[in-house]
Amino acid sequence: MIVVLLNVYLVILFLLVKLNVVRFNLFWKSSPVIVLLLLLVGLFIPMGWGAPQGSAVVVRNSVAIVPDVAGEVIDVPVTANAPLKAGAILFRIDPVPYDAQVKAIQAQLKLSATRLAQMTQLFERDSGRGFDVEQRQSEVDQLKAQLEGAQWNLDKTTIRAPADGYVTNLALRKGARVANLPLAPVMAFIDTSNTLIGVELAQIDARYVAPGQDVEVTFKYLPGQVFTGRVETVLQAIATGQVQTSGLAVQSKGIEAAPFVARVRLDDAALADRLPAGSTGTAAIFTDHVKAAHVIRKVLLRQIAITNYVNPF
């Protein structure tokens, strides 16, 4: 862009000299260098923090599906990448052993409830002890608690979608055996109820970025188009500044100025939901500073949108 503006100035200067409007003296000969410095110092360098630009990416939360009970998979009714509603069935585990456990506890509970009724009747007739009634009541309460846990296990043999979304990279099949181990997820569920768009900003350009500021974004997935949005928040922590509990002393490492991340929400919510997770692009944020550079940044962003037709990187 700075080359275009400088070339425009050179054309205008050439016409003025040809028309004898100005004399081509030392000042006018050196004026292109002066104009170049003025553009750099007065416009293009401040544009970095007045209208910062950075790489954008579409991110969605992924839920690792781990069953709460172990067993053999008897049904996988879902299709990979097909939209699902919250509560839709992902797969089923053989419920027979868990159903048998429920029935066994129900039988024990029925017998204990009968004995409790008998002991209570004897106690009311002064033919039994209060301790026996309390003991039977304790057995009934324990069995009710066990029944509740067994019923929960039985219900968990049907694994459902935790939110609106879809299953990706589906490899689970009928006959597979799954376990309730946190480190052994059986499928990945992509949550589409909330689409996140992150924009990386160089630290030297992020000083004036604040929630509510206007944003324009162009994506490789949709070349030639520019979409509007607003800054939701600027994330207040990155991995470089994170300290974890450790038994080691401080370990020296090279410190680099890693980019900060701003979270952006598009004005067109339907478009955000349609974008595949991992879609990349370029975003520009228009702050309340150096507003004269906003027009130039918009022009540059549209140039990037057009070159997205042929530039895969």
Lowest pLDDT segment from 18-32, 210-224, 282-296:
18-32
Q: Residue 115 corresponds to which tokens in the numbers above?
A: 């004995």
Q: Give residue 13's pLDDT band: very low, low, confident or very high (50, 70, 90).
A: low
Class (C level, CATH) for 62-190: mainly beta
Cβ–Cβ < 8 Å for 235, 260: yes
pLDDT at 265: 93
Answer whether residue 39 shows pLDDT above 70.
Answer: no
**Band of the pLDDT at 35, cuts 50, 70, 90?**
low
178 beta partners: 71
**Inter-residue long-range contacts of 226-231, CB under 8 Å, 24+ positions, other chains counted:** 226/301, 226/302, 226/305, 227/266, 227/267, 227/268, 227/271, 228/266, 228/267, 229/197, 229/264, 229/265, 229/266, 229/267, 230/264, 230/265, 230/267, 231/262, 231/263, 231/264, 231/285
pLDDT digits (tens, 9 = 90+) for 210-233: 999 999 999 999 999 999 999 999
**Residue 197 identity:** I
Q: Mean pLDDT over residues 257-278, rounded?
A: 90
- Mean pLDDT of the 177-193 span: 89
User: How far separated are the first and last CA of the chain, in Å rounded?
Assistant: 20
Indicate the average pLDDT of the chain: 87
Helix intervals (H) in the chain: 2-18, 26-39, 45-50, 96-124, 130-155, 269-274, 294-307
pLDDT score of 187: 92
Q: Is residue 282 classed as helix, strand or coil in its secondary structure? A: strand
Asked which of 32-46, 117-131, 256-270 is least confident by mean pLDDT, the reply is 32-46
Determine the pLDDT at residue 137.
86
Q: What is the pLDDT of residue 131?
A: 76
Between residues 269 and 231, which one has the greater pLDDT? 231
pLDDT score at 5: 63
CB contact set of 188 (below 8 Å; sequence gap of 6+): 62, 63, 64, 65, 167, 168, 169
Tell me what pLDDT residue 282 has. Answer: 96
pLDDT at res. 91: 96
Q: How far is CA 144 from CA 68, 108, 210, 227, 255, in A?
A: 21, 10, 55, 58, 59
Q: Buried b / exposed e across 186-210, counting CB within 10 Å, b at 16+?
A: bbebbbbeebebbbbbeeebbeebe
**Percent of the chain's residues with pLDDT above 70:** 91
188 versus 11: which is more confidently predicted? Answer: 188
Dist. CA 38–CA 87, nearest whole Å:
61
CA distances from 125 to 120, 129, 216 (A): 9, 10, 84
- At 68, the pLDDT band (50, 70, 90 cuts) reads very high
What does the pLDDT average to over 131-138?
82
For residue 115, is pLDDT > 80?
A: yes
The percent of the chain in helix, strand and coil, each rounded to the nearest 5, is: 40, 25, 35
pLDDT band for position 1 (cuts 50, 70, 90): low
Domain ranges of the chain: 1-48, 62-190
On the question of pLDDT at 192 being above 80, the answer is yes
